[in-house]
Amino acid sequence: MAYDADVIVIGAGLAGLVATAELVAAGRTVILVDQEPGQSLGGQAHWSFGGLFLVDSPEQRRMRIRDSFDLARQDWLGTAGFDREDEDRWPRRWADAYLEFAAGEKRSWLRQRGIRFFPVVGWAERGGYSATGHGNSVPRFHITWGTGPGLVAPFEQRVREGVARGLVRLCFRHRVTGLGRTGGALDTVSGEVLEPSAAERGTASSREVAGAFEFRAQAVIVASGGIGGNLELVRAQWPGRLGAPPRTMLSGVPAHVDGLMLGIAERAGASHVNQDRMWHYTEGIENWNPVWARHGIRILPGPSSLWVDARGRRLPVPLFPGFDTLGTLEHIVTSGYDHTWFVLDRKIIGKEFALSGSEQNPDLTGRSVRGVIGRARADVPGPVRAFMDHGVDFVVEEDLAALVRGMNALTGDELIDEAVLRREIVARDREIRNPFTKDLQVTAVRGARKYLGDKLIRTAPPHRILDPAAGPLIAVRLRVLTRKSLGGLETDLSSRVLGADGTPLAGLYAAGEAAGFGGGGLHGYRSLEGTFLGGCLFSGRAAGRAAADAVR
């Protein structure tokens, strides 16, 4: 039986586009299939902030940041917490390979494709533990100039050039339901053709079946993404060590991020490892202008907001804004409540609140220097102001008593006692006047402002939250926001999918979130941030190159 192409790529997100671009560069023919319509090309990456993890970059050096491969590896291993002899065997190797990429050719490879970076490097996941524990010792979060769409564009361009050359066939609305073998090799992809859809990017598209398909190729690359849009699967794989999953969660990704392809690969013999490792954000707010169901947006906070639980008590050290996502998640789900609060004021929200997502950052997405300058000069940036005005999770009042009444009205209970919350804020404000202080969050804020990038655009000058000159007071209800599965299909360093016995399944490759961003989970238990898009780039490139070399 003749082949329909050299390689079939399943999934037209960033990893699938990168793999296809590599195959086109090698002159291979490709069928790229995706269950969504063509207007969703680029997948989740399109909606992203475009953050990338780089080590010892020129941008870091210009900001007086001293970084190195050794320091990054120390941070990565302290964050990942690899502790499984079998399931972490390939993730460890992928982590080292990715770090070498991030400290080596990653930046130059991206620049060759026209990608540039915002000059201020962000400091995500700051940790707050020992030097060998979780977190970034230095800022490493590089924002793509153009955010997610700017990162996707050069790879989409190369794929479309492949279409024009007759090398690539785009098959949207093709939902894969099975992988088959001929002579022992996985070379057949079958499924359903869904009816055409004009659904806008990110919105739910029809699942009405209009036909069937079957394609054959010498190699198949699974780049279908993770499980974040499938709350049923998130709950099924939720790690018991974190307690019971929250009763209510927001979704950080569209519904088509359903994880179903992972089960299809498993039934074909693939090893799916580290399924209980996942990455969900704790600073989720409901999008006042939603694109998909339960659409949540993540706040990217500076370090100054007071983070309190559902009863108004401060979260324990070092669970400060932007320090330890997984540690905060564990604390929340064991508290008995599904929400927490940021309590802050106008000065803090104006300087320290950014919103994740390309659509929430029109200045960076549109590559507008004037817009970026306008954001820096604004009392409160426009997208943040829109949430203050329209978002259901925001309470804005002139005094604390009114703020507490609004917080309790929003949740429909009387969980917050004004006296309890006032005591927390007054104690914190008292430490602001103390040049010594035992409050480690105050120490962290002062330390952050020693970094030029934070001082310029990310950290407000320390001040009393109850100072009327800094008002009004603001409370923001935060909920858990689903996002990434950290485990995935187990792969070797050539992105070949392994079976239960640890040997490669002939003809099958995986990349991106479907592969745990490499090896079945190169992040281990936690992420340093900026590593998800980077993992798609790195594993997509590896899969495309390996498949190109393997086909005859």
Which of the 8 DSSP states describes residue 144? Answer: B
Query: Bridge partners of 217?
Result: 5
Q: Do the Cβ atoms of 497 and 510 come closer than 8 Å?
A: yes
Which of the 8 DSSP states describes residue 537? Answer: H
> How many CA atoms lie less than 13 Å away from 33 in the CB half-sphere?
29
Q: How many CB atoms lie within 10 A of CB 27?
A: 11
- Tokens for 94, please give them: 């992928």
Q: Do the Cβ atoms of 548 and 500 come closer than 8 Å?
A: no
Whole-angstrom distance, CA of residue 150 vs CA of residue 105? 19
Q: Give me the domains of the chain, ranges plus CATH numbers.
A: 5-224+486-550 (3.50.50.60), 280-481 (3.90.700.10)
Peptide bond before residue 468 is cis, with ω within 30 degrees of 0 = no
183 pLDDT band, cuts 50/70/90, is confident
* Average pLDDT of the residues in 126-143: 97
Q: Where are the alpha helices (DSSP H) in 369-439?
A: 369-377, 382-390, 400-411, 418-432
Give the model confidence (pLDDT) of 295-317 as tens digits: 999 999 999 999 999 999 999 99
Whole-angstrom distance, CA of residue 342 vs CA of residue 322? 12
Residue 82 identity (one-letter amino acid): F
Burial class (CB in 10 A: 0-12, 13-18, 19+), 274: buried
Whole-angstrom distance, CA of residue 459 vs CA of residue 303? 7
Q: Is the pLDDT of residue 492 over 90?
A: yes
Give the model confidence (pLDDT) of 316-333 as tens digits: 999 999 999 999 999 999
Q: Are strands 185-194 and 209-222 parallel, antiparallel or unpaired?
A: antiparallel
92 pLDDT band, cuts 50/70/90, is very high
Whole-angstrom distance, CA of residue 213 vs CA of residue 232? 28
First-to-last CA distance in the chain? 16
* Average pLDDT of the residues in 408-426: 97
CA distances, 419 to each of 342, 394, 416 (Å): 17, 21, 9
Q: What are phi and psi of 485, to 5 degrees?
A: -95, 125
Whole-angstrom distance, CA of residue 402 vs CA of residue 473? 9
Whole-angstrom distance, CA of residue 481 vs CA of residue 248? 9
Provide the pLDDT for residue 292: 97
Provide the pLDDT for residue 1: 67
Whole-angstrom distance, CA of residue 349 vs CA of residue 365? 21
Provide the pLDDT for residue 184: 87
- Tokens for 139, please give them: 């800022």
Query: Bridge partners of 297?
Result: 285
Query: Bridge partners of 296?
Result: 286
- Tokens for 95, please give them: 């982590």
* Average pLDDT of the residues in 266-288: 98
Unique residue bearing structure tokens 């009205």: 409
Provide the pLDDT for residue 238: 96
Q: Do the Cβ atoms of 286 and 247 come closer than 8 Å?
A: no
Q: Would you call 281 helix, strand, or coil by DSSP? A: strand
Give the model confidence (pLDDT) of 206-219 as tens digits: 999 999 999 999 99
Q: Would you call 384 helix, strand, or coil by DSSP? A: helix
Question: How high is the mean pLDDT of the chain?
Answer: 97
- Tokens for 17, please give them: 């586009």
Q: Is the pLDDT of residue 552 over 90?
A: no
Query: Bridge partners of 210?
Result: none
- Tokens for 421, please give them: 């919350």
Residue 528 identity (one-letter amino acid): L
Which conformational region is residue 7 in: left (phi greater than 0), alpha (psi within -120 to 50 degrees), or beta? Answer: beta
Q: Do the Cβ atoms of 225 and 488 come closer than 8 Å?
A: no
